[in-house]
């Protein structure tokens, strides 16, 4: 038997990240926990577009190529524009984004442990457990943020993952402990059972911006079920007319540690027999069963507080049924 443990730590900086360069300045956003309908209305209101192409008719003669180019862009051909667009930096350049800025960072700590029982007495086992803490500096919370502002746990690594692989040759038949000959030995000899297993927590739920008056500790529940994945009565604002408006600054965290989607819990099995026809001719028959427990992997729950399905998961993802496979092979 063998046991091994290994620690790995890493930090990566100056990774490329795309960041908006034409944000609506912070002072125009609602920073409270109450919807500001007046603010939204004033910012979404349309006014005369100072960049309207008719205001630059002189370009038809002085710079006809430029005029032709502007005439093909909807921003310049619209006689009106929203107030919010005019308040942005470089309002004539919509969706202005700088790419590959070296502002993203990543850090990770992981401990991997492996236990192995080498093949002996017809049995072998390999078990692995990894413990991880991975964080990413890449989440931009608000339109006006010119870069990430804090570390968040990343979904690129789960807190832990356990896997196991086992193989057992049944102790019957020629060369085994029991029924080495005779009818029973012929029937039961040459069989082996194999299995693989994997278990890990689901992904973190990615929350939209919403109004919440309560304690985050009250949101998770001990035993999530599809009809109630978390406590929907913990303090969420569920009235649509009072939900965050268009120009609402982020007031709710995008992730809540410990609140995740469905687990990965997958067990596979196989049954194999080798028939010896002659010394060098063998027939191998194998039956595989994927997802032995016939467990459905549930999709993430609905995270829209104003939806009637809030807190429910109504579909599946990943492994959703049991599969059987039968394989035959001749070894010469």
Residues of the chain with pLDDT below 50 are none
Domain ranges, ordered by start, for the chain: 2-16+103-331, 22-95
Using alpha carbons, list the distances in angstroms from residue 195 to 85, 99, 258. 60, 47, 30
Task: Supply the mean pLDDT for the chain.
Answer: 92
Closest by CA to 212, choosing from 188, 236, 191, 234, is 236
Q: What is the pLDDT at residue 177?
A: 67
* Cβ proximity of 114 and 128 under 8 Å: yes
Closest by CA to 325, choosing from 249, 257, 269, is 269
* Cβ proximity of 199 and 162 under 8 Å: yes
Q: What is the pLDDT at residue 269?
A: 96
Using alpha carbons, list the distances in angstroms from residue 205 to 50, 80, 114, 130. 43, 39, 30, 22
SS3 annotation, the chain: CEEEEEEEEEEEEEEEEEEECCCCCHHHCECCCCCCHHHHHHHHCEEECCCCHHHHCCHHHHCHHHHHHHHCCHHHHCCEEEHHHHHCCCCCCCCCEEEEEEEEEEEEEEEEEEEEEEEECCEEEEEEEEEEEEEEECCCCCCCCCCCCCCEECCCCCCEEEEEEEEEECCECCCCCECCCHHHHHHHCCEEEEEEEEEECCCECCCCCCCECCCHHHCCCCCCECCECCCCCCCECCCHHHCCCCCECCCCCCCCCCCECCCEEEEEEEEEEEEECCCCCEEEEEEEEECCCCCCCECCCECCCCCCCECCCCCECCCCCCEEEEEEEEEC
Q: What is the pTM of this model?
A: 0.82
Which tokens hold the place of 146? 């010119």
Q: What is the pLDDT of residues 48-100, one digit of tens each?
A: 999 999 999 999 999 999 999 999 999 999 999 999 999 998 898 878 899 99
Closest by CA to 131, choosing from 269, 283, 9, 265, is 9
């Amino acid at each position: 038997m063998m046991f091994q443990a290994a620690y790995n730590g890493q930090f990566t900086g100056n990774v490329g990240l795309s960041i908006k360069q034409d944000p609506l300045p912070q002072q125009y956003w609602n920073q409270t926990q109450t919807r500001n309908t007046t603010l939204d209305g004033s910012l979404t209101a349309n006014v005369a577009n100072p960049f309207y192409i008719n205001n630059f008719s002189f370009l038809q003669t002085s710079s006809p190529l430029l005029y032709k180019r502007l005439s093909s862009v909807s921003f310049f051909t619209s006689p009106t524009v929203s107030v919010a667009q005019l308040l942005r930096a470089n309002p004539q350049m919509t969706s202005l984004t700088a790419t590959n800025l070296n502002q993203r960072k990543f850090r990770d700590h992981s401990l991997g442990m492996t236990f192995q029982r080498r093949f002996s007495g017809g049995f072998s086992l390999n078990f692995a457990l990894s413990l991880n803490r991975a964080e990413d500096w890449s989440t931009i919370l608000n339109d006006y943020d010119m870069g990430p502002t804090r570390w968040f746990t990343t979904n690129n690594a789960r807190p832990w993952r356990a896997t196991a692989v086992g193989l057992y040759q049944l102790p019957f038949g020629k060369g085994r402990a029991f029924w080495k000959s005779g009818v029973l030995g012929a029937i039961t000899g040459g069989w082996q059972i194999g299995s693989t297993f994997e278990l890990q927590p689901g992904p973190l739920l990615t929350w939209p911006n919403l109004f919440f008056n309560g304690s985050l500790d009250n949101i998770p529940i001990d035993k999530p079920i599809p009809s109630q994945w978390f406590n929907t009565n913990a303090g969420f604002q569920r009235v649509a007319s009072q939900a965050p408006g268009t120009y609402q600054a982020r007031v709710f965290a995008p992730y809540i540690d410990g609140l995740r989607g469905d687990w990965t819990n997958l067990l596979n099995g196989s049954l194999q027999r080798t028939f010896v026809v002659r010394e060098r001719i063998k027939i191998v028959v194998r039956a595989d069963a994927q997802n032995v427990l016939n467990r459905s992997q549930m999709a993430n729950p609905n995270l829209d507080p104003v939806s009637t399905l809030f807190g429910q998961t109504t579909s599946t993802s990943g492994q959703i049924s049991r599969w059987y496979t039968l394989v035959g092979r001749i070894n010469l």
